[in-house]
Structure 1
Amino acid sequence: MTTPSDPSYLANPPSACCFTGTLHAGTPRGTVEDILSIPTYISRPTTSNGNIILYLPDVWGLSPNAKLLMDGYAAAGYLVLGIDYFRGDPISNYRRTRNDPPPPDFDHPAWLAKHFAFASAHVLPWAAAVREKFGTSPTIQYACVGYCFGAPFVCQLLATDEVSAGAFAHPSRLTEEHFVGVKHPLLLSCAETDGAFPPELRRKAVDVLQREKKVYHVQLFQGVSHGFASRGDLDDPYEKWCKEQSHSAIVSWFDLWLAKS
């Protein structure tokens, strides 16, 4: 059995830092529909740029945080679809704040294994079903963004021609093969303090991207930790600023590369 210290990883599997965070206040404006029998949050833009973002959530699933982030991408002109590969069983069912311990009988490894197996088998078919439903004409371009648990699936999609660009924030469970396999531009939004993607592994990942001549960009935010971009403390002005800068940079990245496609 692999562990977080397994040298094959360039971003460690989810651990304690991935299960903590803060739920954000706000009223999501999207809807939930089933696509390929998987609950999918859909946020539609008021003024569309014609392009589509596939959203791969962290372990908090389709939380208010995730829905509000997707609404933010929709406000930038994108149709956004977020997959609930936890199927109503996110970590927020067991802990709702960074100081809220899980039930003493909660089996983190079993929970992770169950949902990672499902996500690994279903993200690509779900993405194909989205493309069938919403279009694949030359004028419709796709991008993908993932947070923590979602990062491997960003790389999985970037290894295909289903998307034109991708991004992830504070990733987990990535190997060298994930970085070698990407065929399209990748933005990495990173925290200075990150147990899943610490400096030594982040540097190795960048070395792989450079060696393989991939198109990439790295953001590094000082003074924040794993989870800042999706479940950070918005009562902290600096942490809120970092979260917003991460989001706006991802929008800008997609604006650039989808326009070029």
Structure 2
Amino acid sequence: MTSESPASCCFTGSLHEHKAQGDIQQIGNFRVYAASPKSDTIPRKAVILLGDIFSIFPNSQLLADEFARNGYIALLPDLFNGDQISPQDYEAGKVDIKSWMSRHTVADVSPVVEAMINHLRTTLGVENVAAAGYCFGGKYVVRYLKEGQIDSGFIAHPSFVTEDELGEIQKPLSISAAEHDPIFTSKNRHASEEILIQSKQPFQINLFSGVSHGFAIRGDLNKPLVQFAKEQAFMQALVWFQHTL
């Protein structure tokens, strides 16, 4: 694998203060947090945010709103159909991780991603669709980097990505990696570099020192180094999409 299965680092982190600018909508059968630029016209570009195991929560909403402020329709779907994990339940020991993971396989999550792509391309007529994936969601960015699906991808500290999935991308991919990451390890990162070189697709890998898995969405913003890395990871995604869409 180019990244390992989720571990305890996927379930820990800090909540960020945030007043949501978007709203909860229903797209097909799925609950979605949606944020749009303040404009009367439909933008020609959109980003699908494929989040971590906490799905729609303040930190991921903050990222969606930031993309909207930069001119994107931003969709943050509930990948888990109401079965997302809450930080409080995890900390209280109320989550059976193995059982939870068994309920959220590729067969379960893929229809959600496909519904978002179809809504943007068919219903809204958006020309350019990007995706940003964090931890759990990174796998699905990689899987849908195909012609007519996702046009450009960004992933931060991904989990569950296989070598075959990475080797089959047909569109550009940018990766933010943490120095301390038991899932996207230095070995996995170097293996990913070799696979991406062979793919012949444009790619970028940025390594942030002094931070851990989850920094780009759950980092402790009271720590200047972590705040810097989180903000730079977002800018990495933004500039990458501007360049590749």
TMscore range, shorter length: over 0.9
Q: Per-residue CA shift, 1:110-140, capped at 9, x if unaligned?
A: 101212342134322442133222114xxx2
Task: Map 1:1-261; keep pairs closer than 5 Å.
Answer: 9-46=1-38, 50-92=44-86, 94-95=88-89, 100-103=91-94, 106-116=95-105, 117-136=107-126, 140-258=127-245
Paired with 1:161 and 1:87, the residues of 2 have a C-alpha distance of 25
- Report if aligned partners of 2:33, 2:76 keep a CA contact under 8 Å in 1: yes
- Report if aligned partners of 1:35, 1:130 keep a CA contact under 8 Å in 2: no
Describe the SS at the equivalent of 2:208: strand
Paired with 1:141 and 1:26, the residues of 2 have a C-alpha distance of 28
How many residue pairs align between the two structures?
242
Pick which of 116-125 and 238-247 moved more. Answer: 116-125
Pick which of 51-60 and 221-230 moved more. Answer: 51-60
Describe the SS at the equivalent of 2:193: helix
Describe the SS at the equivalent of 1:190: strand
In structure 2, give the amino acid aligned to 1:142.
V
- Report if aligned partners of 1:154, 1:168 keep a CA contact under 8 Å in 2: yes
Q: Relative to 1, partners in 2 of residues 1:192 and 1:211: Cα closer, same or farther, differing over 3 Å? A: same
Structure 1 residue runs without a partner (length 5+): 1-8
- Report if aligned partners of 2:2, 2:192 keep a CA contact under 8 Å in 1: yes
Q: Per-residue CA shift, 1:36-70, capped at 9, x if unaligned?
A: 21001110112575311111111110010000010
Q: Per-residue CA shift, 1:115-171, capped at 9, x if unaligned?
A: 2342134322442133222114xxx21111110000111012103422221110000
1:94 to partner: Cα distance: 4.7
Describe the SS at the equivalent of 2:143: helix
**TM-score normalised per structure 1:** 0.88
Describe the SS at the equivalent of 1:11: coil
**TM-score normalised per structure 2:** 0.93
Paired with 2:22 and 2:148, the residues of 1 have a C-alpha distance of 27
Structure 2 residue runs without a partner (length 5+): none
- Report if aligned partners of 1:159, 1:183 keep a CA contact under 8 Å in 2: yes
- Report if aligned partners of 2:46, 2:120 keep a CA contact under 8 Å in 1: no
RMSD: 1.6
1:101 to partner: Cα distance: 4.4
Identity percentage over the alignment? 34
